[in-house]
Amino acid sequence: MDKISPSKTALDLAKQVLAIEAEAIHSLAARLSASFLDAVALLLNCKGRVVVSGIGKSGHIARKIASTMASTGTPAYFVHPAEASHGDIGMIARDDVLIALSNSGESEELLTIVPLLKRQGASLIAITGNADSSLAHEADVHLDARVEKEACPLNLAPTASTTAMLALGDALAVALLDAKGFGAEDFARSHPGGALGRRLLTHVRDVMRSGEDIPSVPDSAGFPEALLEMSKKRLGMTAVLDAAGRLSGVFTDGDLRRTLARVEDIRSARIADIMTRNPRTIGPDKLAVEAVQIMEENKVNQLLVVTGEGKLVGALNMHDLFRAKVI
């Protein structure tokens, strides 16, 4: 069977589709009015949950809007309107707000459940492409998502209209996020399995080596003892502690190379004389990404972890942060 190759016309058509959909969103932004603020206020004051519903392509957009809201601080879920009229309407309570999506505003499945919702006291936000539709008239707040034309050459397949609805749903979610003071850490808690969750929820104490795994020697130690500790703990450094157990300095692979270049009898050297004093450190309660920042800014691969009183409690290097998928 011969393969079919797309012509240059396909590329031109694709550019036209993107231009039409971009213009639909641009026009939507220009038409945004006080009704958008009314919708945000209704959602902010919702004592229950936000329910999003739609049929067909609008249903797919409704699912995405519900998912976006749920991940940005607004409890929301999707209910299929056809299933709602067969029992699932019991999932919607009087304190909930229903966001109903329909380009025509005449979707039979949605209009069937609207009287039932109104009867039990739930509020309705309608997002339609027809301000004179039945759904728009029944809504407490109507958001106009009309488009001049679909991106489909036949002007039939929902394309620009669904893009406009999706963008309007994103606008609502972001407005709610901002009004609630939902921050990056809140977002990370909603996405613990993602890269952002690891970066924002992982602390130094979660990835550092502690106890017997921390390389350390007293400041009275000689070079051979320090070198043995470095080799044993395999961190490329050792902490140097004073008589009270506080951090005096650090001796690293870099210090070793520099010492070899300037000290003739290194085996007889005291570690206190060749260590780096006042090393850069980090606290155990700091975020692991802050450790990454310190290492990168100072071009080092290891860090010692100390308390506010200068007590050594841990150590880590870049490999520990890689394993934790912080970087």
3-state SS, one letter per residue, for 260-313:
HHHCCCHHHCEHHHHCEECCCEECCCCEHHHHHHHHHHHCCCEEEEECCCCEEE
Q: Give residue 259's pLDDT band: very low, low, confident or very high (50, 70, 90).
A: confident
Domains defined for the chain, CATH in brackets: 11-182 (3.40.50.10490), 204-323 (3.10.580.10)
pLDDT at 104: 95
Residue 150, both tokens: 């679909």
Q: Tens digit of pLDDT for each residue in 191-209?
A: 455 554 555 668 888 889 9
Angle at 204 between CA 198 and CA 210, to 5 degrees: 130
Buried b (16+ CB within 10 A) or exposed e, 167-190: bbbebbbebbbeeeebeeeebbee
Is 80 exceeded by the pLDDT of residue 188? no
**Strands of the sheet with 216-218, listed across from one edge:** 216-218, 237-241, 247-252, 276-277
Query: Which SS3 state, helix, strand or coil, does residue 166 take?
Result: helix
Query: Which SS3 state, helix, strand or coil, does residue 102 take?
Result: strand
Mean pLDDT of 109-136: 91
Q: Tens digit of pLDDT for each residue in 135-174?
A: 999 999 999 999 999 998 887 788 999 999 999 999 999 9
pLDDT at 201: 66
Per the CB < 8 A criterion, the answer to whether 112 and 86 are in contact is no
Mean pLDDT of 99-120: 90
Per the CB < 8 A criterion, the answer to whether 310 and 284 are in contact is no
Indicate if the alpha-carbon torsion angle 119, 121, 122, 124 is positive or negative: positive
Q: Tens digit of pLDDT for each residue in 269-310?
A: 889 889 989 898 999 988 888 888 898 888 888 899 999 888
Query: Which SS3 state, helix, strand or coil, does residue 218 take?
Result: strand
- Output the pTM of the full model: 0.61
Residue 282, both tokens: 């980090």
Mean pLDDT of 172-200: 66
Percent of the chain having pLDDT more than 70? 90
Q: Report CA-CA distances (Å) from 62 to 47, 65, 143, 184.
A: 21, 5, 14, 24
Mean pLDDT of 257-275: 85
Q: Tens digit of pLDDT for each residue in 82-108?
A: 887 766 777 788 889 999 999 999 999
Q: Give residue 129's pLDDT band: very low, low, confident or very high (50, 70, 90).
A: very high
The overall average pLDDT reported for the chain is 87
φ and ψ at residue 241, rounded to 5 degrees: -110, 145
Per the CB < 8 A criterion, the answer to whether 284 and 194 are in contact is no
Question: Helices (DSSP H) in the chain: which residue ranges?
Answer: 8-31, 34-44, 57-71, 81-84, 108-120, 134-138, 160-179, 184-190, 195-201, 204-207, 223-233, 253-262, 271-274, 288-298, 318-323
Q: Per DSSP, which regions of 85-155 are E strands?
A: 97-102, 123-128, 141-144
φ and ψ at residue 270, rounded to 5 degrees: -85, 140
